[in-house]
Structures are given as C-alpha cells and as structure tokens.
Structure 1
Amino acid sequence: MGEEGPATGEANKEIVRRYVAAFNAGDFGRLRALFTADAVIQGVLGWGNIDEVAMPVWRDLHAAYGLNLTIEDMVAEGNMVAARYTERGTFRAPFRGSEPTGKSYELVAMEWFEMRDGKIARRWGARDSASMQRQLAP
C-alpha cells in the first residue's frame, strides 16, 4: 500500500464521527451502512460478523444502558483510526440475565478501526467493564 496523506486520515476520522453519532442515536440502519459487507467486530463480549454478532449485541446494549459515547481523542494513520471515548449510560432495562438498577455509569472505552473503501472493515473495542459493574451494582 502506498503512503496516504492527511486528507485520508481526516476522511477516516469523519467516518468514525458518523459511527459515534449513529450509535448514540440508536440508528442501527445508518450505523450498519458505515461498515463493509464482510466487516468483523471484536469486543469484550466476543467477536464475529457484524450482522450476526455485533448488531444484535449493540441493539441490546443500547436498549439496556442507553449508551452514549463522547470522543475524547482520535488519531488516524493510513487506513487505521483509534478513538478514546467517555462512555456513559444508565442501566434501564434487563441485559443478559441482570435486572436494571436505574444507576448511571461513566467509564473509558477505546476502539480501533480498520478502513477499506471509505467504510469500516474491522473494529476492535475495549472498555473498563469492571468499573461499569462497580458503578451499577445494586
């Protein structure tokens, strides 16, 4: 692959900004359109094809916690983008056998994106799940 310039990095960061906006809005159709057909997602709950694994999990997470991501930092190089977020939410609906507590949380989350043809081809995610569990405990 050849060297890519600052314009490519900025365009890739804009895709991540659109991803965050769609995720925060719970607009899963708009969110899905930002990914390649063969996109793979890796995160704390496992990994797999976006349609079989990620979209159902993201819908459940959004329904249970009303997740909201605030971009704190973002860097891009070539076809890669890394983002650090403040993630906030409130445990408002059951999730994977746990009943909601009505409590809110705030934590650090990070995602790494690989872009291809103006879309997200792979996404890796990590978040401070232990902090979330402590904050949401009954």
Structure 2
Amino acid sequence: MSFTPEQNNAICVEFFEAAWNTGEVREDLLASDALDHSQVGGKQKTEPGSGSFKHIVGMFRGAMPDVKLTIEDEIYTADKVVHRWRLNGTDTGGVMGMPPSGKAITMSGTTTVRMQDGKIAERWANVDELGLLQQLGVVPPPPGA
C-alpha cells in the first residue's frame, strides 16, 4: 500500500504528539525493524526498535511532567518527514540526571523521519543541547547574552 506525503506527515504528527504530550509511544506506528539514530550528550548511537525513543521521552517526561511538544514547521516529500519543534516544560524532576531546577525550560530541535508502508522506519533528531544546558545553568550563556 502506498502512502502520500501528507498521510506520512499525519502519522508522524500523531506519533510524536502522543509520545511527548501523553507519554504513549505508539508501537503500531513504528515499523518492526525501526531504527532510532539519536545523539545524547554528544554521542551518536543507533538502536533498533522503540527502546531508545521510549528512554528519551521517559527521561524528559520524568524531569518535566508538564512537557508539551509544539510542531512549528512540517516539511514532507516522498518517504521523508521533517518537523521543527519546540518542547516547553518545568524542570521539577531533574533533566539529564541533574538536580531539579524548578525552571521553565524551552528546548528546540528538528526531527527527520523515513517512512515505509505507513510506519516510521527511521528517526534522526538534532536537539539544541547547548541551549538546554545554558537554561539549566550548567553552561554559562555567551558574553553579552
């Protein structure tokens, strides 16, 4: 069965909004051999299945239970979907193992997905980790900021 770029985008919106805004990772929208290419703490890794993505979502939802994903741009063609997004939440549980700061956090990034037969087959994410660390006070802001 062939899916249009619009249908692929709608599947991605449904998947990512459910995961980030409710904590539900929709396995039914992932290919059985899906690959998650993620970069956490400057280290690139590729993992099969949903475990890596579930870990990332769980870590941030645990730190910021009120986290809300907003998709700001949607670009899609053929089997690729790209979303520019923003996460907002309050750090009440400690982001990335740090003590809770109580700060309102805004994190932005871009996710690229390759679709196959109406399911997410691969995911790549680029996240503004430096901006997150600056908001948490771990890294000083640039001079004059």
Task: Verify same fold: TM over 0.5.
Answer: yes
Superposed, which structure 2 residues align to 1:120-131 within 5 Å?
120-131=120-131
1:10-40 Cα offsets, whole Å, 9 max, x none, are 1011011101221211113xx2221111111
> Considering only aligned residues, what root-mean-square deviation do their CA atoms show, in Å?
1.9
Aligned to 1:51: 50
The number of residue pairs the alignment matches comes to: 131
Percent of aligned pairs with the same residue?
A: 27
* Deviation of 1:53 (Å): 2.3
Decide whether the 8 Å contact of 1:91 with 1:101 is kept in 2: yes
Superposed, which structure 2 residues align to 1:92-131 within 5 Å?
92-131=92-131
So what's the TM-score if we normalise by structure 1? 0.84
Higher helix share: 1
Q: Does the alignment pair 1:137 with 2:144? A: no
Decide whether the 8 Å contact of 1:82 with 1:110 is kept in 2: yes
Superposed, which structure 2 residues align to 1:61-76 within 5 Å?
61-66=60-65, 67-76=67-76
Aligned to 2:23: 26
Secondary structure, counterpart of 2:16 in structure 1:
helix
Q: Distance in 1 between matches of 2:49 and 2:92?
A: 25
Aligned-partner residue type, residue 121 of structure 1: A
Decide whether the 8 Å contact of 2:86 with 2:106 is kept in 1: yes
Secondary structure, counterpart of 1:114 in structure 2:
strand
Structure 2 portions without partners, runs of 5+: 139-145
* Deviation of 1:47 (Å): 2.8
Aligned to 1:17: 13
1:89-134 Cα offsets, whole Å, 9 max, x none, are 2212134431111111113210000001100000000111111111
Aligned to 2:141: none
1:33-74 Cα offsets, whole Å, 9 max, x none, are 211111111122233123332222321221112332111111
Q: Distance in 1 between matches of 2:8 and 2:51?
A: 25
